[in-house]
Amino acid sequence: MALPRLVTVELLLHASCFICGIVTAASLTIVQGEFAGRCMLYGTVSYNATAQSLGVDGSSPTSLCFFVSVISVFVGVYCFSLTLYWIYTKCIGEEVSRTRLWMNVNLGVCGIFLFFLLVSGCILKVGRDRLCDSILRNSAIKSCEDAQTKTWISPYNGERFYSGLHSAEVAVWVNFFFWMLIFMVVMFQKYQGSEFTVEEGEHVSSSESNPILGRTSRPQ
């Protein structure tokens, strides 16, 4: 059985959100690995002019990066599970129907994810800017991206810190945009019902609903 068009769009959006979540978590984890597990969001960096190398003066609690990673992974797992559910539904040929209660729950989940993705995006944006400001203020480096080519005092290695944080931030905002689209798609399905009928209880066909509502056809 082919899935309704709006459900197919929702499935593709969830699959895209899964990819974005994995990219965010992986990019942030790689950056942490380059700095011996330290969270460099809102971090401070010093420059040794004699050795022409960069060193880490301060960093944020590891829980800050852990929070962003966990949110991204949780959203990714949810999207992956939901995508598998729709694929399974399509393969076994079950009828696609959702109650209004399920629609409301889905909208609630969208709202929660949008909030946490917004918080994660702001943390990544402001945290990366603070780190770059520290680098530019304390060294002769003209751009934060150029700091990736500089030598870092062991055990730190900043070869990909800027590109990693930038990728994580972009993935979060793309994920946020996709969830906005999912929210609108679910709202359209709830109030328009153009793809399938949504009733307050179990899904029923139009022919079965007449006796329930007391609308029996009169004999001609």
Residue 26, judged by CB atoms within 10 A of its CB (0-12, 13-18, 19+), counts as middle
Segments making up each domain of the chain, as ranges:
5-195
Whole-prediction pTM value? 0.80
Two tokens, residue 88: 């399974």
Q: What is the mean pLDDT of residues 58-80?
A: 93
The pLDDT value recorded for residue 180 is 95
Looking at residue 83, its pLDDT comes to 86
Determine the Cα–Cα distance for residues 140 and 158; give it in Å rounded to an integer.
17
34 contact partners, CB below 8 Å, separation of at least 6: 156, 157, 158, 159, 160, 161, 164
Give the span between the Cα atoms of 129 and 23, in whole angstroms. Answer: 20
- Over 90: is that where the pLDDT of 186 sits? no
Sheet strands (E) in 73-164: 151-152
Q: What percent helix, strand, coil does the chain show, rounded to 5?
A: 65, 10, 25
pLDDT confidence of residue 163: 92
3-class SS of residue 162: helix
Q: What gap in Å lies between CA 140 and CA 135, rounded to an integer?
A: 9
**pLDDT tens digit sequence for 123-143:** 999 999 999 998 888 777 888
User: What tens digit of pLDDT does each residue of 35-47 get?
Assistant: 989 999 999 988 8
